[in-house]
Each structure stands twice: as C-alpha cells, then as structure tokens.
Structure 1
Amino acid sequence: MTLPQAPRLPDLPELTTATRESWLQNSEAAIARLREPPFADLTDRLGRISALPESMKIHEGGVEFHGTYTTAESAAQARALAHELIPWRKGPFRLFDFDLDAEWRSDAKWNRLAPDLPNLSGKVVADVGCNNGYYLFRIAAEGARHVIGFDPTLKYWLQYQLLAAHARHLPATFLPLGWQALAGVQKAFDVIFLMGVNYHEADPLNLLHTCRSALKPGGLLICESVTVDADGDFEIFPAGKYTGIGGVYAIPTPRALQRQLQSAGFQNVTVQHTERMTAAEQRRSEFSPQKTLADFVTADGTSIEGYPPLHRSAVFAS
C-alpha cells in the first residue's frame, strides 16, 4: 500500500524550528488515521494516480489543471475518486478532461474580496479552515511565495490530495490541523484568510487573538463570516442549526464582528462587504447532491429555523 505522507513544509525563515516540528508531528499523527479503514483504500488509490501536469490557470472562476494522465487507469481512478469523495463543498475545478462542480461557486466570494485584496505576490499567506484548498490555488495563482492551509477534516485533506496530483510544485501546503496550530506562532504571515470559521467557535476572541499574533506587523486578517444584516453590535445564538448549518455558536452583526476584532487588538477594522446569499452561489451539484441553501430557507429568505436571512460579511483588519 502507498502510505500517505506528511506534508512538506517549505524552508520559510518566518517559521521557527519548533513550529515546523510541531506542525509536522501533529500532521503525521492525523494522517496515520488514513492508514486504517475506511480511508486506507482511498489513500492507496490516490497514491497510484500518475499524472503529468502542464499548467494551472483560473478560468471563469474555476481552477483548471491542464496536462495528461500517464495511463487510462489513472484517468479512470481520478474520476472514480472524485465521486467517492463526495460531497465537494468548494469549487469549481477542472481536472484535465472533466469538470468537478461543487456546492459553492467559491469564485463569487473571491470576486467580492478581490477589489480590496493586497498584492499577494511574494507574500507568506495562511488560509485557516481551507476546506479542500480552492483558495490555496487561488492565492498561489496570485504569486504568493507560499500559502499554508489549515483544516482538520481528513476528507478535505484527501480531496486536496486528488487536486494536488494534477498540479505539482505549487507553493502551497495543506496541514490537516485546526486553527489551534497557530497558537504560539509569532509574526509569521503577511496575510491570513479566516473564512467561515469564527461562528463555529465557542470562544471566537481566542481565535482572533491567535490570528493577530501570527501576523507580521502591518499584516492583514481577512475575516469572512455569516452575519445578521442589522444595525447594532449584537449576536444571535441559534438553537441547533441555522439555514441547515450545524455547529453554529453565535452569529454576529457586521458591527459586532468589528467590535470583536477590535477587542482582539486590531486597530484598523473595516467591513468590506455584506452580501445576502442566494442559490446562484450555493446550490446542489453533481458532486454535492445533498440538501443545500434552497432547502433551508423560505420564500422571503428567512431560515426554516425562523432566523433572519443568511448574509455573509467580510471584515479587513490590521
């Protein structure tokens, strides 16, 4: 069997030896679980995909990989694994000769951020809660020196391995670790993307403090969150789920999210946008056939649990 290997970290002077060793040791412990059922067969077959990547480009919001498979078996294996790794939440992707559409048109979120993003060329960037790595590829395409993704969900790590088999030598690393891996990291990143994480945390201020410490002086945190589109600085605390989303502790207004970031020590905090979500951005697809946004809202946008319509906001903080 081809065993999954721990991620390779670049020799970045921003990372201490202790940080690198901790990340690698904890990643190896997480990946060891992939050598056991039900993951063992998947990881074995992932390791046997033989591809000759030529290029990666962004086309109409999708991440496209161009190249050829060395064997027909590898081509069939890639297609089969893409289906076995359903659901795909972030996308879209094109793997050489077939399209992999996901639940989210993740390019819509990127397009909202893009007008105010700093120049990422030559920067060291983190994507905390990176899912399958869609934004890792987008950040790499912008010329980042290196981008490191953090997400403890092993299924997302496997999805990323399938994608990465089609785009080797990109300046990107996916660590199967949660945001807690940043604890103790000091002044390492120029930019941190924190998208869709804070409202899943019982203590979001701890998360925000940790991100601030991990930023270089003058660095930027991009905090993108589900929000309540209302004036005032308050939160709602859903009982159970919100528009079908589980594990939600509290949903802030945009102003409340600003206040949280200021409480965490950020000085320059600006709401970059607030946008109501629609089925054009989050919808059922071949590779994500489960219930989705349209199944969890009423005709006027109210959530089926009785909460206000789903909005998302991005706050830039430095």
Structure 2
Amino acid sequence: MPQLLLNDCSHVIDYTGFLDSLKSGPLAKWRHPISQGLEQRLDSLQHGDLERWQASLDKLPALTHVEADMSSGVSLRSDQTLSEEAQDKLTEGLQGLHPWRKGPFDLFGVHIDTEWHSDWKWQRVSPHIDLRDRRVLDIGCGNGYYMWRMWQAGASMVIGVDPNLLFLNQFEAVKRYLPSAPVWQLPFTLEALPEPSDAFDTVFSMGVLYHRRSPIDHLLQLKACLRPGGELVLETLVIEGDESRCLLPEDRYAQMRNVWFLPSVPMLERFLARAGFSDIRCVDLNRTSIEEQRSTDWMRFQSLPDFLQPDDASKTLEGHPAPLRATLIAVKPGP
C-alpha cells in the first residue's frame, strides 16, 4: 500500500486505511487507480523544503488519549501533561510548517493564529448545509481545516485534494493524532482523480473557481463527482452587478496573478445553470475584512491589508473592487 516517505525521513503518511475504505461501496472503482496514482505521485514528489517540513513533523510529541473538539474550531487535547521541553518542541515543530493560511487550530495548548479566520467563513456557510452521513469531497482543501469541521458536522467520509505539499504536511500534523478519523487528504489536483464516480453526496469548491481559466469546465467536473441529487457548495470571488457583469483582470488582482473570472452573483448563477445544476441559491455574500485575512506570527508574509489601496480600502492596489466572496449552493438533478 502507498506510504509517503519523503527524502528518507522517518515520518510516513500511510494510506492503507484510506484504500481499505474503498474496497466496497460507490468508490470501489477508485481503489486501484488511486493506489497507482499515489505511488506515482509520491515517487515523484520534489520540493526544497520537504526535509525541513518532515523534520518539523518529527518534533511533534507522541500522545495518547487524544480528544478532538471541532464544535467551534479544530482543537486537540490530551490527558498527558507535556513537559516544558516537549511543549517547546511542539511549538517549534508547528512553527516549522509556516506559513499557516487556513485555521485557526488549537493543538495541545498551542494556538495557531492563521492568516484566515476560516472559522468565520464556516459559521456563515454551515447553517445552510446538512452533512450528516454524507460522503464529502473537498476540492482545493488547503491544510484540511474545513475537512475537520465537515467531519464534526457528521460527514461519514471526507476526502480532500490539494497538490500543495506544505498543506499536506500541515494536515498530517493533525491527522497523526486522529488516525482512525475518516478524513483523508490526497496530493492531487481535481484533474488527477480517476474518472468521475457520481459517488459524492456533497462537493465543496471554496476559493478555487477564480483560479480556473475555464470556470464552466470546472463546474462540469464538480458535477461529475456528485451523485444525482447531490449538492455543490461553491465559494468564490465575485463582483457587484447584474447577469452581464464579469471582471477579467488584465494582470493581477490583489497582487495575485492567477485570477481569471470574477463574475457577478447573477452571472455565476447562470454559469451553474448552464453547467446543468438546479435549485441554485446564494446563501452568503461577504466583503472580506482585514480582520478576517491578515498577517500573524503564524503567517508572516504580506496579506490583505497590503493588497488594498492605503487611502481607499474599497479597492485593490490595481484599482479593482476589494474582495467580495459569495457562497452558492446548487443541486445535481436526478436521473
């Protein structure tokens, strides 16, 4: 079974449990291609910081009797008392996985104050969805923060895909303490997954669509992953306006080069309808504040306050409207 062993470091991410869970059920046909894909992907992994990230993971203390509380965030506790040396190593190991973008996390007394207050977004989105006993796919899952919240909300299985290796190591910093949790992160892109399975009850795509050159193709790929009657949760950057309005930045948007289409909400609803979704509704529209996204001791690079005009926070440095994010829910029609 595929195991992730990077740069001859001692730490291993073992996918045996995940592949065993695919032996039966709607995802059974994924088992062989996923196994092959993991072996090929893990054999080819290269990144100059891998050794440092793995060494950081190795500093995290081995703990038993771990309790997870995901009710208001991602929090882990243990009945073991950490020595001062162990607490220092825990902090050092987690800091070694800088920068932390999504969160926050509270791990055995260490509060990871991430760039994003992702808990605020989850508070806005979660009242509109029911994940009980649902098989969930999270596209562009980052370090897995939302996946843990999805599990806490009752999902029977959560699979996330993200090719970023730092995010994979950050996910593993939590997963190693919850090995039996049905939450898994795969170092893939959406395109690298096997043929669509129509197997997921809920698919999330949050903060991904505006990075896609072809938004309709992305929506069609997401729809192909859903069972008939399954639900898409789509969160993306938008602009104000009617169904004819869409922003295509000439170069950068808030200093990001890989931003393509920022439609209005009515145009985004049309995108979803043209892709074959039904029951489309916008459940949240929120202007991102500099309190929700900012630099911290755990993400020391530039952040949103640096990407807005100093004398007019309603515009980006390029003169575009400041980030406005919409969350839409849509359904894949039944047969």
Structure 1 length normalisation: TM-score? Answer: 0.91
Matching residue within 76, 80, 102 for 2:92: 80
1:85 aligned partner, one-letter code? L
> Does residue 289 of structure 1 match 2:289?
no
CA shift in 2, pair 1:230/1:183, >3 Å:
farther
Counterpart amino acid of residue 309 in structure 1: A
For residues 151 and 128 of structure 2, the distance between their equivalents in structure 1, rounded to whole angstroms, comes to 17
Unpaired runs of 5+ residues, structure 1, are none
RMSD: 2.1
Structure 1 range deviating more: 299-308 or 131-140:
299-308
Query: Which residue type is aligned with residue 128 of structure 2?
Result: D
Quote the offset at 1:163 in angstroms: 1.9
32-41 or 246-255, which deviates more:
32-41
Q: Does 1:157 align with 2:163?
A: no
CA displacement at 1:313 relative to structure 2: 0.2
**Correspondence 1:166-205 to 2 at 5 A:** 166-182=177-193, 184-205=195-216
Aligned to 2:126: 114
8 Å contact kept, 2:160–2:185 = yes
Three-state SS of the structure 2 residue aligned to 1:5 is strand
Residues 201 and 216 of structure 1: is their aligned pair in 2 closer, same or farther, counting only changes over 3 Å? Answer: same
**Distance in 2 separating the partners of 1:104 and 1:55:** 24
2:63 is aligned to 51
Query: Please, which of 291, 294, 313 is the counterpart of residue 280 of structure 1?
Result: 291
Count residues with an aligned counterpart.
Answer: 315
Q: What does residue 27 of structure 2 align with?
A: 15
**Candidates 84, 92, 96, aligned match of 2:104:** 92
Taking structure 2 as the reference length, the TM-score comes to 0.87
Pair 278,203 (structure 1): closer, same or farther in 2 beyond 3 Å:
same
Sequence identity (%) = 29
1:255 — aligned with what? 266
Contact conserved, 2:135 with 2:201, CA < 8 A, in 1?
yes
- Alignment check: 8 A CA contact 2:308 2:317 kept: yes
1:155–1:137 distance in 2 versus 1, CA, 3 Å: same
Structure 2 counterparts to residues 123-142 of structure 1, below 5 A: 123-142=134-153
How far did 1:37 drift? 4.5
3-state SS of paired residue (1:122): coil
Deviation at 1:101, TM superposition (A): 0.9
* Aligned partner of 1:5 among 5, 13, 18: 13
